[in-house]
Amino acid sequence: MNQELNTGNTKIMNRFDVTSRLIAKLKHEEAVIGGIGNTNFDLWAAGHRPQNFYMLGSMGLAFPIALGVALAQPDRRVFALEGDGSLLMQLGALSTIAAMKPKNLTMIVMDNGIYQITGAQPTPAAGVADIVAIAIGSGLASSAWAADEEDFERLVDDAMAATAPSLIAVRIDDKPGVGTTRRDPVQIRERFMHGLGVRQPL
């Protein structure tokens, strides 16, 4: 049903495939924040990097956490991966990011219109709300649907050179994540801080 929404000719892609395409492009120790559930499971499955942070709760906070990293390290590119259901929890964060204008932050929304992990119930936005229109309306002018995988890669390239925050929305299928993140929050946080050069291992 949600595919009838006015989102252009966006192809239905796959979260793991799109995440892997993003990771393959990262050559400068860019930070990546993976939102709760399948979003970070596929980030994990795409191959662990020390600059990855995996959320194990606090649904909806991938973009705020990424904003904090971006403000702390303005010279590092920061990517945040979030599901549509998670984003709906914290739409106000889009305006905060638009107001703060971090030039190094790129937000990627994986939109399947469902809470896949809880039993594929449709979100309240499915079929009625357009996430890119919400983002633009929240002040994030540089927001776009990826038409297909090639377009996604092009948008990522653009974002890497951008001087304003950008948001890329991707229509994805209803497949679960490919892997399962090791649920070790202290180690995740510590490794991430090593990866960002904030700390050295003991």
> Are the C-beta atoms of 65 and 33 separated by less than 8 Å?
yes
Q: How far is Cα of residue 71 from the mean position of the Cα atoms in its chain?
A: 17
Residue 13 lies near other proteins (rule: CB under 8 A): no
Residue 33 lies near other proteins (rule: CB under 8 A): yes
Nearer to other proteins, 8 or 197 (CB): 197
- Return the residue of 67, 87, 169, 172 that touches other proteins, per CB under 8 A: 67
Nearer to other proteins, 16 or 192 (CB): 192
Residue 98 lies near other proteins (rule: CB under 8 A): no
Nearer to other proteins, 71 or 141 (CB): 71
Stretch that binds other proteins, among 89-97, 119-127, 153-161, 174-182 (CB under 8 A): 89-97
User: Residue 147: which H helix or E strand, with range?
Assistant: none
The amino acid at residue 123 is T
Stretch that binds other proteins, among 19-27, 70-78, 113-121, 123-131 (CB under 8 A): 70-78
Q: Identify which of 185, 140, 128, 146 has the alpha carbon closest to the alpha carbon of residue 15.
A: 146
- Return the residue of 12, 128, 141, 198 that touches other proteins, per CB under 8 A: 198
Stretch that binds other proteins, among 16-24, 115-123, 129-137, 181-189 (CB under 8 A): 181-189
Please report how close the Cβ of residue 60 comes to other proteins at its closest, in angstroms: 8
- Return the residue of 21, 25, 90, 176 that touches other proteins, per CB under 8 A: 90
Strands 31-34 and 105-111: unpaired
E-assigned strands of 50-200?
A: 52-54, 78-83, 105-111, 114-115, 121-122, 143-145, 166-171
Distance CA 75, CA 141 (A): 22
Nearer to other proteins, 60 or 85 (CB): 60
Residues 6+ apart with CB under 8 A from 190: 199
Distance CA 37, CA 102 (A): 26
* Chain contacts with other proteins (rule: CB under 8 A): 31, 33, 53, 55-61, 63-73, 76, 90-93, 95-96, 99-100, 185-186, 188-189, 192-193, 196-198
